[in-house]
Amino acid sequence: MPITEAQLQSPLSADLQTILRCLSCGSKLNSDDSGGYVCAECKRAYPFVNGIARFVDAQHYAASFGFQWHRYQKTQLDHDEVRESEQNFIMKTALRPEELAGKLILDVGCGMGRFAEVATRWGARVVGIDLSAAAEVAAKNLADRDFVAFQADVFSLPFAPESFDVIYSVGVLHHTPDCEAAVKALGKYLKPGGILAVWLYSGYNKWYRFSDFWRRYTHKMKPETLHGILKVAVPVLYNTQQVLKKVPLVGRPAAGLVHHVFPVNRQKRPEARMLDTFDWYSPKYQSKHTYEQVFHWYEAMGMEDMRIGDFAIAVRGRKPA
């Protein structure tokens, strides 16, 4: 849907007029009548397709995520009775509502928008980018918020340096071909004094050895095929473990062995189990990291005031003012 009159006059659209830049020549972008953008200098166009402006020509290696977030559009979205994503966001970023209220935020790899939902609820204006078609779902889910979604790549962002007060990226950069380069790419978009918070898969606990082994094959499958297989395999493996656990003495170790060799997510809600298991087995890239590594990257960027969150590997730091 094209941008409405109200959105055109919103503080967020004023922000966008200031911060958006052409990927080819770095000049300012003007919005066109359809909701897309065009470069004021070189005239490169960034079309508006299916509700969002596109700064990439395809989903590239992230197509499985496009499938995933279209299939599970609201599974992890908070609502009146459930605040799971908010708790997750706090544990994985260590950000507090008062640090985001009234601020301009970049959500890198926004997926279907569950964390942008939290940040906008806390009073932030949020720009979400995602390499996949997930950005379309985020735009729909958060149509009534101070939020805009773009399909864009973390390695080639259409923003001026020093645009954002806070940048966060939760569960994303380990899914790129070069996590270190992705983290380091973000520093320049922070205003002086701004905060960068990232959450990455942990390399400390080796539970993922077997899922990494299977993923060598599963990531090559069509997302529809893999999803079809997991629709059968996840309930079978999960229920087998539950039954085994009831067998005296050998039951628990046997259930542990099944889980070790064929890991499936063990959340209570079947839909959430399916979503997270698909999320483990479908991505092409999935690196694991340590605090030591990530602190080195932050130090190399000149960040200060580094802190960790409650859920490894969660690191935040501040760009010197």
Site for ligand SAM in 17-36 (CB under 6 A): none
If binding is defined by CB under 6 A, does position 86 make contact with ligand SAM?
Answer: no
| Closest residue by beta carbon to ligand SAM | 111
d(CA 181, CA 300) in angstroms, rounded, equals 11
d(CA 200, CA 311) in angstroms, rounded, equals 10
CB of 132 vs ligand SAM, minimal distance in Å: 3
If binding is defined by CB under 6 A, does position 279 make contact with ligand SAM?
Answer: yes
If the CB atoms of residues 60 and 245 are measured against ligand SAM, the closer one turns out to be: 60
If the CB atoms of residues 39 and 275 are measured against ligand SAM, the closer one turns out to be: 275
- Please tell me the count of residues contacting ligand SAM according to CB under 6 A: 22
Site string (29-68) toward ligand SAM, x via CB under 6 A: ---------------------------------x--x---
The stretch near ligand SAM (CB under 6 A) out of 127-135, 190-198, 203-211, 247-255 is 127-135
Q: Are the CB atoms for 39 and 47 separated by under 8 Å?
A: no
CB of 70 vs ligand SAM, minimal distance in Å: 11
- Which member of 21, 29, 52, 111 binds ligand SAM (CB under 6 A)? 111
d(CA 31, CA 53) in angstroms, rounded, equals 10
**Chain center to CA of 27:** 27
Site for ligand SAM in 136-175 (CB under 6 A): 153-155, 170-172, 175
CB of 260 vs ligand SAM, minimal distance in Å: 23
If the CB atoms of residues 155 and 213 are measured against ligand SAM, the closer one turns out to be: 155
If the CB atoms of residues 170 and 226 are measured against ligand SAM, the closer one turns out to be: 170
Q: Are the CB atoms for 31 and 3 separated by under 8 Å?
A: yes
Look up residue 268 and give its two tokens. 């209570």
If binding is defined by CB under 6 A, does position 276 make contact with ligand SAM?
Answer: no
Report angle CA 206, 211, 212 to the nearest 5 degrees: 80
Report angle CA 149, 295, 123 to the nearest 5 degrees: 35
If binding is defined by CB under 6 A, does position 134 make contact with ligand SAM?
Answer: yes
If binding is defined by CB under 6 A, does position 183 make contact with ligand SAM?
Answer: no
- Which member of 176, 211, 218, 293 binds ligand SAM (CB under 6 A)? 176
The stretch near ligand SAM (CB under 6 A) out of 10-18, 129-137, 158-166, 313-321 is 129-137
If binding is defined by CB under 6 A, does position 114 make contact with ligand SAM?
Answer: yes
If the CB atoms of residues 155 and 204 are measured against ligand SAM, the closer one turns out to be: 155
If binding is defined by CB under 6 A, does position 75 make contact with ligand SAM?
Answer: no
Q: Are the CB atoms for 159 and 17 separated by under 8 Å?
A: no
If the CB atoms of residues 10 and 87 are measured against ligand SAM, the closer one turns out to be: 87
If the CB atoms of residues 49 and 254 are measured against ligand SAM, the closer one turns out to be: 49
d(CA 236, CA 229) in angstroms, rounded, equals 11
- Residues near ligand SAM (CB under 6 A) are 62, 65, 69, 109-111, 114-115, 129-132, 134, 153-155, 170-172, 175-176, 279
